[in-house]
Amino acid sequence: MPLSKLKIKNATYLKDLSGIDVLHADEPHALVMAAGYLKFTLAKNKSEGIYFRGQRKIYESLSPTLYRDTPSIKVQNAKHAALSKLVQRFVDSGNIFGSFGDYAHEALLQHYGISTTWMDLVDNVWVALWFACHQAMSVGKRGEFVHFERRLPSSSNPYAYLLLIAANINHRSRDKPGYYHGDQTELVDLRMAAPSVFLRPHAQHGLLFRRKGDITGRALDYSSQLRGVIRVDLAKALDWLGSGKMVNTHSLFPPPFYDNGYQLLLTCGVEGDRTTGTISHIGA
């Protein structure tokens, strides 16, 4: 059931400047109702969970970080090999990775800055809106030093976007807490898959998903899982978020003083490269 079917007060279905159809929400209840509509409808009818991704603009594709600038299967395979070696180096660096399943290792590293086949999502509409209202700025040889700047509304920068992404939730296993899969996708909920010694995914209500691969490789673009886009005026979105301590960089990206798992990743002696990136240093 597309968002165009919705009749919500203070919400209008229209065509965005990017050319795609969006639901423009003018007040918080409209935003939450639209997000909840697809969560309820698709879980009931298609066994799909709907999760959120906040963006400052609409891009031409929905690709995981590892697959950007990947022109061929040969390049994709080389990136997979580099990533596998890096993940193994983290696993070998200490005992912490032995405390949770290997199905979540790559997804966890993605959440802390490594470029992987997974894509970050959140299960909280306000956290997604925060990401849509801020821009990540990075420097360093591998872009490892990152800070977030609050976006300023302007005629060329007027909106915040929430992408509604579907992941299969048909199947799960007791042996893999927080892991869901179906015909098209895999989903890892790090709040169940990883201990809270890794604080960041718990603070962000963080999940990750990816398209399943086949004998020819894994799809480079995950846009087939997009189920709708909600648009909000950036000035209104910033006002709705306010300045509460639970929705700021310090809370959503806890420093290593509080996030012991993050501290371990930063100090374990494993460095990435230009292909895989590295663990990000987040300025809070």
Domain positions in the chain: 3-283
Q: What is the pLDDT of residue 100?
A: 96
85 vs 69: CA distance, rounded Å: 20
- What is the C-alpha separation between 149 and 172, in angstroms, rounded? 38
| DSSP percent split of the chain into helix, strand, coil, nearest 5 | 35, 30, 35
Tokens of 133: 């209202």
What per-residue confidence (pLDDT) applies to 245? Answer: 84
Give the model's pLDDT for residue 141.
83
For residue 118, count CB atoms less than 10 angstroms from its CB and return exposed for 0-12, middle for 13-18, buried for 19 or more.
buried
Residue numbers of the chain with a pLDDT score lower than 70 = 1, 284
List the one residue out of 188, 183, 194 whose CA is nearest residue 173.
188
How many Å apart are CA 234 and CA 272, to the nearest integer? 35
128, 55 Cβ separation under 8 angstroms: no
Find out whether 254 and 200 touch, Cβ atoms under 8 Å: yes
CA dihedral 264, 54, 220, 277 (to 10 degrees): -30
pLDDT at 284: 61
The counts of H helices and E strands in the chain are 9, 15
What is the per-residue pLDDT for 142? 80
Type of residue found at 12: T
Question: Sign of the C-alpha dihedral, residues 178, 181, 99, 65?
Answer: negative
Distance CA 159, CA 235 (A): 8
The token pair that represents 115 in the structure block: 């470029």
Give 112's contacts (C-beta < 8 A, 6+ positions apart): 198, 200, 262, 265, 279, 280
Quick check: 179 and 187 in contact, CB under 8 A? yes
pLDDT at 1: 60
